[in-house]
Amino acid sequence: MANNFSLHIDAWAHGAAIPARFAFGRPGEESPFAPSDNLNPTIRWSNAPQGTRSFALICHDPDVPSAADDVNQVGKLVPADLPRVDFFHWVLVDIPATTAGIDEGAASSGITARGKALGATEFGITGKNDYSAWFDGDTEMQGIYGGYDGPCPPWNDSILHHYYFTVYALDTESLGCQGAFSGQQALQAMQGHILAKAAHMGTYTMNPRVV
């Protein structure tokens, strides 16, 4: 792996709190949840290794509760020792090798009920994020969610959530991903093609008692 390949997000320092404008939800004044600006941050990468033919970008949260029994339930708290699973917020592949970043708001600006479109964009091929499964059965919000949709951890969770934006330099122009492909499917398709990767992490919580 090339050690000088790097990813830059200037909106927050690595490991610091993500500003609410980049989140799907924020604490409300009269309720635990309020919709937020849901902007994707500006992302830049540099020093890709020789032989890079495309990039892929993944944003995921590894701290999502593995069971939803207590999630967003008044009078309950999601326990810290509950096993956690990955939740993908952004799945983007086949980014041209000539691309060096994505501007703020280019992949998301506001909440789109029923989800943004999948497929070709000006900066790559977008798969589905995990709001597609989260909103399944919600008559107002259910759909296939493409592109970026930001943090919205349970407002009664007892832990701080961590969000990893990772860019991969790949040795192929296309991973062959089609349709409603998931983050896991994109990662599987990358195997054997990764020349380098770089990540930038931020934290977020909807629970004011979590620091």
**Tens of pLDDT, residues 153-194:** 999 999 999 999 999 999 999 999 999 999 999 999 999 999
Q: What are the two backbone dihedrals, phi and then psi, of residue 119, each rounded to the nearest 5 degrees?
A: 95, -150
Interatomic CA distance for residues 113 and 63, integer angstroms: 24
Per-residue pLDDT at 3: 66
Across residues 63-76, what is the average pLDDT?
Answer: 95
| % of the chain residues with pLDDT over 90 | 97
Query: In the numeric block, which tokens belong to residue 24?
Result: 């799907």
3-state SS assignment for residue 22: helix
Sheet holding 101-102, edge to edge: 6-8, 43-46, 101-102
Closest by CA to 123, choosing from 144, 151, 143, 94, is 94
The answer on pLDDT for 2 being more than 50 is: no
The percentage of the chain sitting over the pLDDT mark of 70, rounded to a whole number, equals 99
Pairing mode, strands 119-121 and 194-204: unpaired
Confidence at residue 211, expressed as pLDDT on a 0 to 100 scale:
74
Q: What is the pLDDT of residue 61?
A: 98
Residue 138 identity? D
| Mean pLDDT score, 32-41 | 98
Rounded-to-integer distance, Cα 118 and Cα 115, Å:
9
Q: Strand, coil or helix: what is 209?
A: coil
Contact 131, 149 (CB under 8 A): yes
Give residue-wise pLDDT tens across range 79-106: 999 999 999 999 999 999 999 999 999 9
Average pLDDT, integer, range 51-80: 97
pTM: 0.96
User: Can you say whether the dihedral through the CA atoms of 111, 127, 57, 204 is positive or negative?
Assistant: positive
Phi, psi of 139 (to 5 degrees): -65, -25
Q: Which helix (H) or strand (E) holds 44?
A: strand 43-46
Mean pLDDT of the chain: 96
Domain range 1-54+94-116+158-174+186-194, CATH architecture: Alpha-Beta Complex (3.90)
